[in-house]
Structure 1
Amino acid sequence: MKFLKIQNGISSRNILTASTFILGIIIIMPIIFIFVEIFSVRNFDFSSKLLDYFIPTFLLVVYTCIISIVLAVIPAWVITFQKIPWKNLFDILLILPLSIPGYIMAFTYADILGFNGSLDLLLQNYLNTKLSIDILSLEWLSFFLALSLYPYIYATTRIAFSLIGNTYFNLSNTLGLGETKTFLKIILPLSMPAILSGTLLVIMELLNEYGAVNYYGVKTFSVGIFKYWFSMDDKSSAIVFSAFLIILVLLLIFFLKMLKKNDEKIKYHIKSTTYIYKKNNLFKIPSYSFICLPIFFGLIIPLAFILKNVITNFLMYDWTQILHVFANTFLLAFITATIITIISFYVVSVKRHNNMRALKVLIAFLSSGYAIPGAVIGLSFMLILQYLNPSLNFLMGTIALLIYAYVFRFFAVSIFPLESSFKQQPLSFDILAKTLGLSITQTISKINFPLSKFAFASSFLLVFIDVFKELPLTLILRPFNYETLATQAYQYANEEMLSYSSVYSLCIIVVCSATIILSKSILKHKN
């Protein structure tokens, strides 16, 4: 009888592992086809086409990352190490610009600062002068995107700063170093892996961006993929761009892994308590300035302008259509987040009970999906349908295919909180469960899941936010005449109807802000 139980246990483990491998291969299969198709490409002009899109993409990434680091690191320093009132409120407000997608931030500032925009008309009416700046440029776009993306760096930097304890500050005081020198010579080098990790997330978001770069006329790879595939019917160029982006992203992920190894070495020396500098009135105004600038330009101005547009045009909106589009977006995000979170929990659970190296490699590959731009994923899904069987083209433009693409794109977003939660659960719990005669599925349902409920909720909310505001992937794979808040906001803005775009933008901002606050409160309750 005992032998039978062991055999059943082994059989159950093998079934779970096999099903995970099958699920993983199904999810990553479309990306494999990008590299299969690359061998069929002939007569591609690498010298002109690739460089035309590489240089603007590179410059956009460099400018945006530099501005994002400045907007994120200094406020994180002030919030962590300075004694200021309303610290928790400022901490939340510095995160909230993340609820404003980059394309909405760029559209809004184009309407405020552009030709005959709000500021231009104000200057004409009261000062009899015009605003003579070209707002639709790569440099300005970098600044606007940084206002939306800096919270990625702020969040990782804030965590890194909070882990640095009194030991380092006591040593710096002994050496006679002031606040500025301590920051530059000790705190910044210690936190560099975390800062660069956040910067890599910003780079991934920039490579995925389509709405803003297309509106501003910046030739990035995402724009190139859309242009060559849809406008010029040049499949070869679109495939080469996609393969180049995938290779670039994999190199970034490898670089991130190397940083994490260094980060572990640093954490060995870090204490858990946080040092707080004594109150200094001399730094009071600069401190508040560094905190308030990103909040003012990244949250208050765009939100106030969008609200003004909505109030002004309130009676002109078709609220029935808006509610219909809102329902489409909410249901799509809810269903997708549910599916992805369940799949992620299943995969992480199987990995815990069968720690095979091949399974780790598969999960690592699955986790790279978030880094791959939506335009590439959309293209790969169309290629696979054409390759398998032309009769499968009926799947194009279906909700099922769109959700399938979302699963690959946002699997990594869901799996990281769950993996973190599972790592905090002692393996002795599983051993005790086995001693009590519980099967693997019973252990997962009765022990692992209850201990991971906060991570499960957090995982769901993070995926919900990303799907709710996703644009390029939705534009490519959505069903005909199926609109979401993101597609409507983009289409109205692209047609220079920014007042109509504002109501859809406001819906995205309100829902994403509420979800971010809820997610933060869940994590706080968990801790």
Structure 2
Amino acid sequence: MGARVLNGLAWLVAIICVAPMAAAALAALMGDLETWRGLAGSVLPLYVRNTLLLVALVALGTAAVGTGAAWLVTMYRFPGARVLELLLVLPLAFPAYVLAYAYTDFLSHPGPAQTWLRAVTGWGPRDYWFPNIRSLPGAALMLVCVLYPYVYLLARNAFAQQSATAYLAARTLGQGPWGAFWRVSLPMARPAIAAGVLLAVMETIADYGTVAHFAVRTFSTGIYQAWFSMADRGAAAQLALCLLAFALLLAGLERAQRGEARAYGRGGGGAGAEKTRLTGWRGWVATLACGVPFAIGFALPVVVLARMALGSGQSLADPRYLGFVTNSLTLGGVAAAVTVAGAVLIGFRARLHPGRLSRGLVLGAGLGYAVPGGVIAVGLLVPFAHLDNAIDAIARERFGVSTGLLLTGTIWLLVLAYMARFMAVALNTYDAGMATVSPNIDAVARTLGTRPLALLTRVQIPILKGSLLTAALLVFVDVLKELPATLIMRPFNFDTLAVQAHRLAADERLDQAAVPSLVIAAIGLLPVILVCRSIAGRRPAGAERAGYAGAGSKSEPGTA
């Protein structure tokens, strides 16, 4: 296999990743305008309003919680700070829709929270008002609880990498801790904070499980309803195009912010200042401020889901659940292998032939991470359904037999959707590993007559085994949590843990939905543990003395 074959395979993978978005856009433009007029006059304004409001609430919430927690653990010493520094990352293990199931049970009228309130106060059911968690603000709260670690990780690294000189100069000139933070440290960390917020926003517009469970009508729920409830592929494609345009705009903003963030290094390269010790009530307030996000986003949901699971009568040893687990593991394993292999081909091609074309190839292949799973599902199903129908028509006409659906509704088409959705995760991890490999190694191997395939298999892949394993694990867990694409594209009678959890929750059987939800969260802990280990392993020399524990090379959320 020569360089031309590897190059061709890299282009094929990139085309497959871009094809769903192009197909969704084409199907929308070719759709019936009457459908679009009907949408514009009925549900479209509601979808736009709810989606924008949800995005605004999540952006503000993740920025406030993530930045505040990052500043406290970076600049201050208080009770439990060292432990909370890592615990604040753990909510990343939960999909937002799992949190939604837990809090729906916990805060509902017969749930523990209101039952306790009535027992303590003696109130009756109509004697008090209680906030409704199944609302747009409730959905925003669930998303903030699981997405703030994106902002926390980036902001924490940005604060830790800043030189103490500017901050100390502001304090010397009479600024208090709040003034120095607001006027010096926060502006320097702004690009990293903005990048984290944009990542959280992209996850928000891609979410389906949370908004569907809370009956919040957004573009994601509209795509699914148009496809299944109304059987209107044109409407689904047109809604997907609107969401695609918004997602690509966010992807461009995220990439621009990330590019600017590289300019904000350890400004001045000076040693960090000693952390300020918070004593008395101030220290406990800081502990509470950092402990609440962890408690709401991880600890309490684990307790609630465990209680629900124990009383559900469900068992993972049941043959049906073994089938769900097997299906989930199969999809996750196959998708991880295919996606990582594709990332290696694209990354290797970009390393052999650096330039604008290669950068465009990498950018195009990685855009799917900013695109909701529902958009990718529609973009793949529409053209492949036409292809299946065309093949069936030709077979009927020439051979008198029906081929049925050869591609649509198969595992392999679903795997292609996962590859397009999560290629950016594998590419980022591969690039992070390759950044540690000197180009001189490639040059020496080529000088000794090593062909491209041998260079890849005998030199680079053995060096990158750790990075490739990490990439495979991250893609595997992302596939387990992916809901919209799986719901739309899964083969008949082929359900996964995510689908089962969603189905049971949709039927209000929340106790039974807790079992698959806990399994998904348990598996989701694996990449979070990797992130925590990466944070612990990147402490610079003198960090403990300087109080900058955890500083180091910036790691992308979900790709450490």
Pairwise TM-score range, normalised by the shorter structure: over 0.9
**C-alpha distance in 2, partners of 1:429/1:155?**
32
Residue matched to 1:110 = 104
Q: Deviations over 1:284-319 (max 9, x none)?
A: 122101110101111111111111112233477773
Residues 259 and 442 (structure 1 numbering): CA distance in 2 closer, same or farther, change over 3 Å? same
SS in 2 for 1:171: helix
Letter in 1 for 2:416: Y
Q: Does 1:490 pair with 2:502?
A: yes
Residues 270 and 296 (structure 1 numbering): CA distance in 2 closer, same or farther, change over 3 Å? farther
Residue matched to 1:145 = 143
Q: Does 1:219 pair with 2:217?
A: yes
In the alignment, structure 1 segments of 5+ residues that lack a partner are 1-10
What is the CA distance between 1:424 and its match in structure 2? 3.2
Note the aligned Cα RMSD (angstroms). Answer: 2.2
Q: Does 1:467 pair with 2:479?
A: yes
Letter in 2 for 1:505: S
What is the CA distance between 1:52 and its match in structure 2? 1.8
Match of 1:194 among 187, 192, 195: 192
Q: Does 1:50 pair with 2:40?
A: no
Residues 525 and 30 (structure 1 numbering): CA distance in 2 closer, same or farther, change over 3 Å? same
Residue matched to 1:262 = 260
Q: Deviations over 1:139-171 (max 9, x none)?
A: 122112211111111111122122112222332
Match of 1:412 among 388, 401, 424: 424
Residue matched to 1:163 = 161
Residue matched to 1:77 = 71
What is the CA distance between 1:277 and its match in structure 2? 2.2
The two structures have a TM-score, normalised by structure 1, of 0.92
The question of whether the paired residues in 2 share the 8 Å contact of 1:92 and 1:517 is answered with no
Residue matched to 1:94 = 88
Residue matched to 2:349 = 350
Match of 1:132 among 124, 129, 135: 129
Letter in 2 for 1:35: A
The question of whether the paired residues in 1 share the 8 Å contact of 2:422 and 2:475 is answered with yes
Residues 258 and 30 (structure 1 numbering): CA distance in 2 closer, same or farther, change over 3 Å? closer
Q: How does 1:307-456 map to 2 (within 5 A)?
A: 307-314=306-313, 319-390=318-389, 391=392, 393-456=405-468
Residue matched to 1:63 = 57
SS in 1 for 2:77: coil
The question of whether the paired residues in 2 share the 8 Å contact of 1:471 and 1:486 is answered with yes
What is the CA distance between 1:84 and its match in structure 2? 4.1
SS in 2 for 1:395: coil
What is the CA distance between 1:210 and its match in structure 2? 1.1
Letter in 2 for 1:292: G
Letter in 1 for 2:145: L
Q: RCO higher in 1 or 2 (8 Å CA, sep ≥ 6)?
A: 2
Q: How does 1:225-304 map to 2 (within 5 A)?
A: 225-267=223-265, 269=267, 271=269, 273-281=271-279, 283-304=282-303
What is the CA distance between 1:346 and its match in structure 2? 2.1
Q: Does 1:502 pair with 2:505?
A: no
What is the CA distance between 1:273 and its match in structure 2? 4.5
What is the CA distance between 1:491 and its match in structure 2? 0.8
Q: Deviations over 1:254-294 (max 9, x none)?
A: 21232233223333735374433231315312210111010
Residues 103 and 425 (structure 1 numbering): CA distance in 2 closer, same or farther, change over 3 Å? same
Residues 279 and 218 (structure 1 numbering): CA distance in 2 closer, same or farther, change over 3 Å? same
**C-alpha distance in 2, partners of 1:483/1:254?**
35
**C-alpha distance in 2, partners of 1:237/1:22?**
29
What is the CA distance between 1:49 and its match in structure 2? 3.5
The two structures have a TM-score, normalised by structure 2, of 0.87
The question of whether the paired residues in 1 share the 8 Å contact of 2:198 and 2:250 is answered with yes
Query: Which of 210-219 and 382-391 deviates more?
Result: 382-391
Q: Deviations over 1:43-80 (max 9, x none)?
A: 22235442121000110111122112222111111112
**C-alpha distance in 2, partners of 1:80/1:473?**
39
**C-alpha distance in 2, partners of 1:439/1:297?**
54
Match of 1:27 among 17, 30, 41: 17
Residues 135 and 380 (structure 1 numbering): CA distance in 2 closer, same or farther, change over 3 Å? same
What is the CA distance between 1:374 and its match in structure 2? 0.8
Q: Percent identity?
A: 28
Q: Does 1:517 pair with 2:529?
A: yes
The question of whether the paired residues in 1 share the 8 Å contact of 2:380 and 2:417 is answered with yes
SS in 1 for 2:406: helix
Letter in 2 for 1:192: R
The question of whether the paired residues in 2 share the 8 Å contact of 1:30 and 1:383 is answered with no
**C-alpha distance in 1, partners of 2:143/2:154?**
18
The question of whether the paired residues in 2 share the 8 Å contact of 1:83 and 1:276 is answered with no
SS in 2 for 1:393: coil
What is the CA distance between 1:188 and its match in structure 2? 0.9
Residues 13 and 318 (structure 1 numbering): CA distance in 2 closer, same or farther, change over 3 Å? closer
Match of 1:477 among 485, 489, 497: 489
Residue matched to 1:38 = 28
Residues 456 and 89 (structure 1 numbering): CA distance in 2 closer, same or farther, change over 3 Å? farther
What is the CA distance between 1:477 and its match in structure 2? 0.9
**C-alpha distance in 2, partners of 1:215/1:415?**
32
What is the CA distance between 1:205 and its match in structure 2? 1.1
**C-alpha distance in 2, partners of 1:308/1:519?**
28
Residues 329 and 453 (structure 1 numbering): CA distance in 2 closer, same or farther, change over 3 Å? same
**C-alpha distance in 2, partners of 1:168/1:456?**
39
Letter in 2 for 1:26: I
Query: Which of 223-232 and 275-284 deviates more?
Result: 275-284
Letter in 1 for 2:358: L
Q: Deviations over 1:165-219 (max 9, x none)?
A: 2222332233232221121111111111111111111111111111111121111
**C-alpha distance in 1, partners of 2:353/2:316?**
55
Residue matched to 2:304 = 305
What is the CA distance between 1:345 and its match in structure 2? 1.7
SS in 2 for 1:479: coil
Letter in 2 for 1:97: P
Residue-pair matches, total: 517
